[in-house]
Amino acid sequence: MRIERVTLRHIRMPLVHFFETSFGRTTERDIILVEVAGEGASGWGEVTAGESPFYNEEWTDSAWLILRDYAIPRVLGRDLASAEDVAPLTAHIRGHKMARGGLEAAVWDLAARLAGQPLWKTIGGGARREIPCGVSIGIQNSVDQLLEKIERELAAGYQRIKMKIKPGWDVDVIRQVRARFPAIKLMADANSAYTLDDAARLKQLDEFYLMMIEQPLAHDDIIDHAVLQAKLDTPICLDECIRSAHHAEQAIRLHACGIINIKLGRVGGFREARRVHDVAQAAGVPVWCGGMLESGVGRAHNIALSTLPNFVLPGDVSASKRYWARDIIVPPVETTPQGTIRVSDEPGFGYDLDRDYIRSVTIREESAG
Ligand code: OSB
Ligand code: MG
């Protein structure tokens, strides 16, 4: 498979509702789409970096430069035996895994299309025909608004509710949610808003029998999470901390978590995502697929990833319409009344691109090759 041309498109789309985490509020997404062309076909990937370097060190503009100046030159014109070859070719770049992962995922999609296969098959998935879905609900302007949103998502069939927390929007809010919805699968995501000094406060959350608490402590600190986990009954799920299979091994060995959130971009693409998956599976640690407010392209890649066998918990991959008035893929991602997404059997990532709409939201485009 020869990579003959790579095109970067920077698209900008407003979110249907703002999305607020402990590190800030997002109202509009700036997303890079990566198109790789070769052998008469095209594969597409999405860079999942945010607009600012607040979730991790990457942001849309840094990803553009990393791709243009470092990652793309290493794969352009190459004859690859498999999409497995992409990650090692860009491994000399420190960090910037979302930028590298967007390119890597595009090559996997190209490989699947050239093989006439659905992407889930090419990556070795296919353990399930429908993936179980949860939703991630951001910090709201009021508790009433949060309760109303949860009500709506449960009515739509979603299997678990994740709520974002931060100091000042945690114990009291979760208490009200639990009082109203005593039996739902509920979890909280702190996006690194706490330190070990808050251990007693986090311990109070045990009272609410959450499925897990996601990434309470620093984005790069596995050891503190191990200290905290020893004090909590609630399992810790690591997100930001796990950037590689090696990190997963270390976190599991230290008992820093009981569950891992796998994000394709955060770990640098499908090859490393599968390695994280395999490490967790071997240790009996369940995983689920996280999200980064993706457009349809990234959403479709997440669906393929979620068909690997150890993705046994409902993930954050949900319907397009929760984010976009109009998605860039056709049809948009939809859920069943049971809160699942049916996996497409079409070649590649399984949806059509709405090229006219993509053109209309593109604010910058550059090709090489
Ligand atoms: O920590 O999982 C996170 C969104 C942006 C940045 C970080 C996170 C999230 C989400 C949203 O929780 C998941 C989604 O619905 O895409
Ligand atoms: Mg998270």
The string of pLDDT tens digits covering residues 264-303 is 999 999 999 999 999 999 999 999 999 999 999 999 999 9
Catalytic status, residue 121: no
Atom from ligand 1 closest to the CA of residue 261: 2
141 and 31 together in one domain: no
C-alpha 349 – ligand 2 centre gap (Å): 24
Atom from ligand 1 closest to the CA of residue 135: 15
57 and 190 together in one domain: no
Closest alpha carbon to 350 in 308, 310, 304, 313: 304
- Based on the structure, what is the number of domains in the chain? 2
pTM: 0.97
Counting residues of the chain whose pLDDT is more than 90, the rounded percentage is: 100
pLDDT (0 to 100) of residue 224: 98
The string of pLDDT tens digits covering residues 108-164 is 999 999 999 999 999 999 999 999 999 999 999 999 999 999 999 999 999 999 999
pLDDT (0 to 100) of residue 346: 97
Residue carrying structure tokens 């311990």: 203
Could you list the residue range(s) of the whole structural domain that residue 220 is in? 122-342
149, 164, 203, 231: the catalytic one is: 164
pLDDT (average), residues 197-205: 98
147 and 200 together in one domain: yes
- Neighbouring CB atoms inside 10 A of 214's CB total 27
170 and 82 together in one domain: no
Report the chain's C-alpha Rg in angstroms. 20
The string of pLDDT tens digits covering residues 89-100 is 999 999 999 999
The four Cα atoms 297, 299, 300, 305 give a dihedral, to 10 degrees, of 130
Beta strand extents in the chain (DSSP E only): 5-21, 24-38, 41-47, 130-132, 135-137, 161-164, 186-189, 213-214, 236-238, 259-262, 287-289, 329-330, 340-342, 352-353, 362-368
Catalytic status, residue 149: no
84 and 39 together in one domain: yes
Q: Is 134 in the pocket of ligand 1 (CB under 6 A)?
A: no
pLDDT (0 to 100) of residue 288: 98
Q: Give the model's confidence band at 198: pLDDT under 50 very low, under 70 low, under 90 confident, else very high.
A: very high
Rounded to the nearest integer, the mean pLDDT of the chain is 98
**Residue nearest to ligand 1 atom 5, measured at CA:** 292
203 and 300 together in one domain: yes
CATH (domain of 306): 3.20.20.120
In this structure, is residue 326 part of a structural domain? yes
Closest alpha carbon to 294 in 44, 45, 48, 17: 48
151 and 96 together in one domain: no
pLDDT (0 to 100) of residue 60: 98
**Residue nearest to ligand 1 atom 1, measured at CA:** 191
228 and 325 together in one domain: yes
pLDDT (average), residues 50-72: 98
In this structure, is residue 348 part of a structural domain? no
CATH (domain of 49): 3.30.390.10
- How far CA 200 is from CA of 204, 205, 228, 308, in Å, comes to 7, 9, 10, 37
